[in-house]
Chains A and B, each alone.
Chain A
Amino acid sequence: MSIGNTSILRAVDIYGEYVVSPLLSVKAVTNVILHMNSGEIVGIAGESGCGKSTLVKILYGYIEPSLRVRGRVLLNIDDGTIDLLSVDEEYKRGRIWWRYISYIPQNSMNILNPYMRVGDHFTELLKKHLNLEKDEAIRVAGEYVEDLGLRKDVLKAFPHQLSGGMRQRIVVALSLLLKPRVIFADEPTTAVDVVLQKVLLQYLLDKQKEYGSTLIIVTHDMSIHAMATERIIVMYAGHVVEEAPTELFYEDPKHPYSRALINSLPRLGDKGIRQGLAGQPPSLINPPPGCRFHPRCPYSMDICRREEPPINKYENGWRVKCWLYVKR
């Protein structure tokens, strides 16, 4: 499968806010511009409440009431380009989701329908998208599950009869069933044991390589980003503050927030003193003027308090949203 530098997904000027009342909204995602190439593994990092899950929902085109969105998400499919935020919902459900893009939501071990056997989740998908007959679908599902290293009787079980790790693995397998071009994984390995975490992550990466898909991993765990991703996007309070190649990023993060984040990570075999950040992220109902990180930033200057910094190119593919890197 050809893996070139062809762009597959572009997000242009994305804004997303949760409407609480006509006068009040939580601005979860503000002014995000992104692009994803086909075949790459991108990580979205940030701490709780920074808008990373909302961003992924928008990129997937899954807009629930109370979330209001502006901007465009352009996805390349076989016959041209579509805007996920403006196409018809039925079209998205029938043609795009699962087949071109798939989404592993947070807490994925609890999203299987408790009234449906595991096998029915597979056959429903196969019948709907590939128009297979029931017997054929059961056979395909059986082979697929055996390939995962699970026994075929798993298909006859109800979700509650399986352990959390097995359910999580099945959800991951379901999302990869139709060989999607883009896979969004929102905290795919949180809440599972370390050993299982590695198993799941390796499975996901193996399949990504096999299908040549684009994989977008969203997690707060910086160790997973280091182990899995090629490019990393750091979010803070609804903004993308840094975007960089993973390997270079860990050596020398540019944004003061990213730097603090990396410096706060303890490592096995290193007892050196680590420091965290003081203060807490701003309220997204009334975000502070200027740079949203300035109240906690050790380098904050006058301009940081007044004006929002632009997101600037630092090097190839490295972008930073900070006044420190703006030449004036």
Chain B
Amino acid sequence: MGEMLRLENVTKIFRYGFLGFKFRAVDDVSLSLEDKPSIFTIAGESGSGKTTLARLILRVFRPDFGRILFNGRNIYEIGDRTFYRNIQPIFQDPYASFNPMQKPIRYLRETVKNIVGIEDEREIDEYIAKTLSYVGFDISVVADKHQHEFSGGELQRMAIARALLTKPKLIVADEPVSMLDASFRINIVNLFKKIKEEMGVSFIYITHDLATAYYISDYIAIMYRGSVIESGRSEKVLSEPLHPYTKTLIESLPIPDPKQKKLWMQKKMAFTASIEEAEFILKGCRYVYRCPYAFDKCKTVMPPYITINESNVRCWLYYK
């Protein structure tokens, strides 16, 4: 089967100040997404580089090393219109996605005009109405509403409708539900699932919430300080984690079930006061300061990708 999206050793370097030190926000990431509808989660804590990775895929940043291929072509060789027709973003803050001075519908109309290429205004509205009804809106109701008249969940649905207008192959959703309440959150996540199954759209779902990641995604990649430390099928990775960091993450996740309380409380976490900047410029594994299993080699050499029962893990513990 072909690959829809392929990242080859993608690296992005940021710099603190004019002459300040450089660090790799995304370091040597290789991933691939097969050419069938699926949801690929990129999970990680704040500062793990997951948003930078999303922006690299969306062509907001240019990778310093490595390349990103979409259907076998480098994304920088694809024309703008083709690119945006195929890859669409959804952002974290629904209120910031739409201009507060204009009605949200205008943004949808512009998308149709500029990217889909329909000129006639009546046709545009007919086109939009179809997509809006898919996400559960009636165009006659939302067309005259301003941004502040929508709730956060509704605006996020508008943003999804906008992304769907171009009939994309891939939607990159950067923390799309983290600003919403639990009862809305699940509606949006269910909508993603429905879109994947019915319209055949793939998602790159960026999140720090492992519970929703498990709920919707087919594949998952866990990031830590710029590198992907574990990836594979999401059930596998989240139920049988290999990397010490993934294990810690899952152990510290609170569970909405008081029966698990005792077990959760027993596993104590130690407070580590290591410096984030120092972790970014490490030569070896970035997790070495916090890792209970760390040995000398971890500090100096970055572990390679190791495949163990279908998961890829970057940890010297599994090196033979």
A residues adjacent to B (C-beta < 8 A): 47-48, 148-151, 163, 166, 169, 193-199, 201-203, 205, 220-227, 246-247, 250, 260-262, 264-269, 271, 273-278, 280
> Beyond A193-B45, A194-B208, A194-B249, is A47–B183 a contact (Cβ under 8 Å)?
yes
Which A residues lie within 8 Å of B189 (CB)?
266
A42 to chain B, nearest CB (A): 14
In the complex, the 6 A-B pairs of residues with the closest C-beta atoms, listed nearest first: A223-B254, A266-B215, A276-B187, A47-B181, A198-B252, A277-B183
Is the beta-carbon distance between B186 and A266 smaller than 8 angstroms?
A: yes
Question: Does B101 sit at the interface, judged by CB under 8 A?
Answer: no
A150 to chain B, nearest CB (A): 6
CA distance A277 to B182 in the complex (A): 9
* Apart from A194-B253, A261-B183, A265-B256, 8 more pairs, CB < 8 Å: A47-B183, A149-B270, A163-B276, A193-B45, A222-B182, A275-B186, A275-B190, A277-B183
Central interface residue in A221, A261, A264, A276, by most chain B CB within 10 Å: A276
A283 to chain B, nearest CB (A): 11
When the two chains form the complex, which single residue of B181, B252, B260 contacts A194, counting CB atoms closer than 8 Å? B252
CB-CB contacts below 8 Å: B65-100 with A: none
Which A residues lie within 8 Å of B185 (CB)?
264, 276
CA distance A238 to B257 in the complex (A): 26
Question: What is the chain A residue whose CB lies nearest that of B268?
Answer: A202
Which B residues lie within 8 Å of A169 (CB)?
271
When the two chains form the complex, which single residue of A48, A198, A202, A224 contacts B181, counting CB atoms closer than 8 Å? A48
When the two chains form the complex, which single residue of A148, A151, A199, A276 contacts B183, counting CB atoms closer than 8 Å? A276
> Beyond A149-B271, A199-B270, A276-B186, is A268–B253 a contact (Cβ under 8 Å)?
yes
Is the beta-carbon distance between A274 and B190 smaller than 8 angstroms?
A: yes
Which B residues lie within 8 Å of A268 (CB)?
210-211, 214, 238-239, 250, 253, 255
Which A residues lie within 8 Å of B151 (CB)?
280
A-B pairs with beta carbons under 8 Å apart, 30 shown: A148-B271, A149-B271, A149-B273, A151-B273, A166-B273, A194-B208, A197-B254, A198-B252, A201-B254, A220-B182, A223-B211, A223-B254, A223-B256, A225-B256, A226-B261, A227-B254, A250-B258, A260-B183, A264-B183, A264-B186, A266-B211, A266-B212, A267-B211, A269-B214, A274-B215, A275-B190, A276-B184, A276-B186, A277-B183, A280-B151
CB-CB contacts below 8 Å: B185-216 with A: 185-187, 189-190, 208, 210-212, 214-215
